[in-house]
Amino acid sequence: MDENIKLREERIDALLQEKKYAMLRTELTDIPSVDIAEIIDDLDAKSTLIVFRLLHKDVAAEVFAHLLPQQQQAIVEVISEAKLKEIIAELFFDDKIDFLEEMPASVVKRVIKTSSEEERRQINQFLNYPEDCAGSIMTIEHVSLRKEMTVVQALEHIRKTGPDKETIYTCYVLSDSRVLEGIVSLRKLVLADDDQVVGEIMSENVISVTTLDDQEEVAHLVRKYDLLSIPVVDKENRLVGIITVDDIMDVMEEENTEDFHKMASMAPNDQEYLHSSTFSLARKRFPWLLLLMVSATFTAAVIGTFEDILSAVVVLAASIPMLMDTAGNAGSQSSTLVIRGIALGEIELTDYLKVFWKEFRVSLIVSVVLGLVNMVRMFLFGYSFLVAVTVSLSLGATVIMAKLLGGSLPIAAKKLNLDPAIMAGPLITTVVDTLSLLVYFNIASMLLGGL
Amino acid sequence: MDENIKLREERIDALLQEKKYAMLRTELTDIPSVDIAEIIDDLDAKSTLIVFRLLHKDVAAEVFAHLLPQQQQAIVEVISEAKLKEIIAELFFDDKIDFLEEMPASVVKRVIKTSSEEERRQINQFLNYPEDCAGSIMTIEHVSLRKEMTVVQALEHIRKTGPDKETIYTCYVLSDSRVLEGIVSLRKLVLADDDQVVGEIMSENVISVTTLDDQEEVAHLVRKYDLLSIPVVDKENRLVGIITVDDIMDVMEEENTEDFHKMASMAPNDQEYLHSSTFSLARKRFPWLLLLMVSATFTAAVIGTFEDILSAVVVLAASIPMLMDTAGNAGSQSSTLVIRGIALGEIELTDYLKVFWKEFRVSLIVSVVLGLVNMVRMFLFGYSFLVAVTVSLSLGATVIMAKLLGGSLPIAAKKLNLDPAIMAGPLITTVVDTLSLLVYFNIASMLLGGL
């Protein structure tokens, strides 16, 4: 596959250099639009423009929708007014909004000038939906039917209006005032008898969302009910748009990326890594690092308090890193499992006690085994018996604390309407570190204080 | 939404208790099968069986497919032979395989007895595909067409064979020997003229996978090309099955969950948290914790080596936790970004130098700022100037090392055909800890050695 793509790129480069544009046009017709967008990624401005002129207008619009905002802007700035108008007209409404959201005001103005009064109103409405809500990812190109239509009429209507729609596989049955009365799949229409009526075969139990619903929630529903698209309605149950499953897959990866970033104590980044500037990357990593570093003042304070025992038994210092790393890792494991369980809807707030009890039993097993292995390890490395006991006991207690906190804090965050993902490894580690040092030095003072 | 579900469950409970089965049957017809499966999750064995008997056979099969393996087994063990046969016959082939994979041999035998010779052969073939490959998630219920058919004939064929197919929206054009010659969407068929021929309107540039391709790779293709289903072919390009987008969404979440688990140093768990046993949870967490704990022997060795300077300046111990946590967090940030970038296909092996250079610049900014803040912090807490300088310099060096390692190791893992996700926080932390202690005590010896 990768080999083919490389060969294709070389062929296209050659055709561009030799100015064999007719052949290039033929070559391009066989390539999916998302691949053309990738090829353009490596071309200079002039070649990009040539490729764009060679594409059929609906393919050009599809390719345009797949480009990065910087590339879209570069093209808009050099393209003729007529060509721009053509591409904009062909864009699906959701792609149009995505594009406009990223453009500077001057470009937005130029694009809006090409739109009708009605479309301008709609663009402004869509641009106002908050990011990450259903309204911000929906599109308007759907097939609407009427209850009274027969199957034949419905299919005829689909044939007439279908070509410009994002999907024709789910059709929406609307009343005069655009209230969503039901849905009917193309599958059902094709398999039904010609003279059946849409109202009979449509399904009235429609799973829908409202414009302000969180896109993560929308993705949950689409995945749970195996939908190909989901209708978006307003408070009066009037249809305002639809969201298709291809966009839902992107939402899923976006939301997962956000969780990965948050769990590694970073502000989420919705730009691709290699396309993000150094400063924006640094800025997103900085706040949490700083907070966690400063909060380490507590660990320093604990160690400061126990300076006497530490000077007396300097060898105690040698186990601090191991204790803290193990605690951090044990806590991360639990918090990751619980954060992920909440994200997938497998763990509810009401499962709190079940989680706590399970983590307690798991941590008991893990801490006993780790403690024993540690005894053996320290014995082999020639530590004194009492030091080994001190470290092993602390290790066991620390693992239990870490797992109980790791299991509880994400649920607590959810309860407080915070994102559970922030209660991940880094934060848990910082909290558990202080606790584990306290346990460690207290046990050490008891067992070794008299030495 | 949640409120409604609760009310519905109460209503169903009431109908079960009052034995109003006719009403219960009506109630159930309005509920999506995945929701019925959730309701059954809370019912006892007897009520489950009653609900099952009330369901229409195709709904029963759908509900059955959504149940957990334990529940499926419980039902199989009490259900009549006739009813079992009915449900098994209605199951889509991929659901049948998923179910059989989880059952003990006795159940598999009982089920296979109900199948025809041909189906037995197919079941055995499908059960042999390795987990996580395309073959293990595909199904066989697709619509196949012939190149010579007219649009009218094709639609007629779809009407006849469609009802039992998992999807009819993408139809597969096959030769006599089942070689995949092209695909045509129902959309194209419905919008085409009646007398056009399938061979004319089908698309020959088919994106397909082979039975042994990794399911993650399959999900990539489906998401990239916005597909509703993808064909699975053998080495001779003969169609052996299809994978639909609803199963792809599940694969995406499964693969993400696997990454989350690996990145928190756990063996991946494909069972839901609350349905996993304590021992299986402990077992999955144990190996990495143990490995990382034992590898902490290095950190202990470093501290042991520098015991002299540590006894002389005990206050140095107070900053060990802060140094190590900050290093770990800084490393996690970089490795998470790079692991995620690789998983989404945004970062390739050839981008190695770009990533390294970007991480270097980012870490320079971050380390300078953190170092300065730390100077101020330690100054405010009354540490001596030289100790503060020692800690701040070490902190800066540590952050740079951590970020360079965090950025490089996932790419190195990919290069070695390992899963980049194992090069996450915990492992990076363990490696960086030793390095950072070495830096710390060496700087301390230089600056404070003479004190």
Confidence of residue A366 (pLDDT cuts 50, 70, 90): confident
Q: Do A252 and B257 touch (CB under 8 A)?
A: no
pTM of the full predicted structure?
0.83
**Smallest Cα distance from B375 to chain A, Å:** 11
Tell me, what's the pLDDT at A214? Answer: 92
Q: A304-328: string of b/e by CB count within 10 Å (b at 16+)?
A: eebeebbebbbbbbbbbbbbbbbbb
* d(C-alpha B307, C-alpha A315), whole Å: 8
CATH class name, domain B296-448: mainly alpha
Q: B24 Cβ partners below 8 Å, 6+ apart?
A: B12, B15, B16, B50, B51, B54
Q: Which residue of B has its CA nearest to A302?
A: B318
Mean pLDDT of B169-197: 92
Exposure b/e, A129-166, CB count within 10 A at least 16 = b: beebbbbbbbbbbbbebbeebbbeebbebbeebbeebb
A417-429 per-position pLDDT tens digit: 888 887 777 778 8
Longest dimension (CA), chain B: 96
pLDDT of B3 reads 62
pLDDT digits (tens, 9 = 90+) for B143-159: 999 999 999 999 999 99
Minimal C-alpha gap between B26 and chain A (Å): 14
> Which of A157, A229, A281 has the highest number of chain B CBs within 10 A, making it the mutation to test binding with B?
A281
Q: How many beta-carbon pairs below 8 A join chains A and B?
A: 336
**pLDDT at position B100:** 87
Q: Which of A161-175, A183-197, A374-388, B194-208 is predicted least confidently?
A: A374-388
d(CA A391, CA A320): 9
pLDDT tens-digit series, residues B50-71? 888 888 888 888 898 888 888 8
Cβ-Cβ contacts under 8 Å for A328 (sequence gap 6 or more) = A402, A425, A428, A429, A432, A433, B325, B328, B426, B429
pLDDT for A81 equals 81
Segments of A65-189 assigned E as strands: 143-145, 170-174, 180-185
Q: Which residue of A has its CA nearest to B292?
A: A326
C-beta of residue B110 within 8 angstroms of C-beta of residue B76: yes
Contacts with B227 (C-beta within 8 Å, 6 or more apart), sequence order: B170, B207, B221, B245
For residue B353, count CB atoms less than 10 angstroms from its CB and return exposed for 0-12, middle for 13-18, buried for 19 or more.
Answer: exposed
pLDDT(B221) > 90: yes
Residue of A nearest to B286 (CA): A366
Q: Please, how many CA atoms are within 13 Å of residue B219, restricted to the half-sphere of its CB? A: 24
Chain A residues whose CB is inside 8 A of the B299 CB are: 318, 321-322, 325
Query: What's the whole-number average pLDDT of chain B?
Result: 86
Q: Is the pLDDT score of A310 beyond 80? A: no
Subunit contact A281:B190, Cβ cutoff 8 A: no
Q: Is the dihedral of CA A82, A86, A87, A89 positive or negative?
A: positive
E strand or H helix that includes residue B345: none
Closest CA to A336 of A428, A440, A424: A424
**pLDDT band at residue A231 under the 50/70/90 scheme:** very high
- What's the mean pLDDT in B195-224? 92
Given a cut of 80, whether residue A371 has pLDDT beyond it is: yes
Sole residue written with tokens 């790393």: A325
Chain A residues closer than 8 Å to B300 by CB: 318-319, 321-322, 381
Residue A281: list chain B partners with CB under 8 A: 337, 358, 362
As a whole number of Å, the CA-based R_g of chain B is: 30
- Quote the pLDDT of residue A182: 93
Q: Give the pLDDT of residue A1.
A: 46
Provide the CATH topology of domain B2-128: MgtE N-terminal fold (1.25.60)
In terms of C-beta density within 10 A (0-12 exposed, 13-18 middle, 19 or more buried), how is residue A415 classed? exposed
Give me the residue label for tokens 């999807």. Answer: B167
pLDDT tens digits along A238-254: 999 999 999 999 999 88
**Which tens digits make up the pLDDT trace of A312-337?**
777 788 888 888 888 888 888 888 88
Q: Is the pLDDT of residue A397 over 70?
A: yes
What three-state secondary structure class fits B201? helix
* Chain B nearest C-alpha distance from A168 (Å): 7
Q: Taking the domains of chain A in order of start, what are their residue ranges?
A: 2-128, 143-253, 296-448
Q: Over the stretch B100-115, which tens digit does the pLDDT of each residue have? A: 888 888 888 888 887 8
B128 is written with which tokens?
């042999």
Return the amino acid letter for B195.
D
Q: Are strands B170-174 and B180-185 parallel, antiparallel or unpaired?
A: antiparallel
Of A136, A444, A130, nearest to A309 by C-alpha is A444
Looking only at the bridges linking them, the beta strands covering A180-185 and A143-145 are: unpaired
**Predicted local confidence at residue B1, as pLDDT:** 46
Closest alpha carbon to A142 in A74, A54, A232: A232
What is the pLDDT confidence band of residue B450, given thresholds at 50, 70 and 90?
low
Residue that wins the pLDDT comparison between B256 and A303: B256
Superfamily of domain A143-253: CBS-domain (3.10.580.10)
Strand ranges (E), A165-284: 170-174, 180-185, 209-210, 229-233, 239-244
Residue A251 pLDDT: 92
pLDDT at A226: 92
Chain segment B10-29, per-residue pLDDT in tens: 888 888 888 888 888 888 88
User: What's the rounded mean pLDDT across residues B374-387?
Assistant: 85
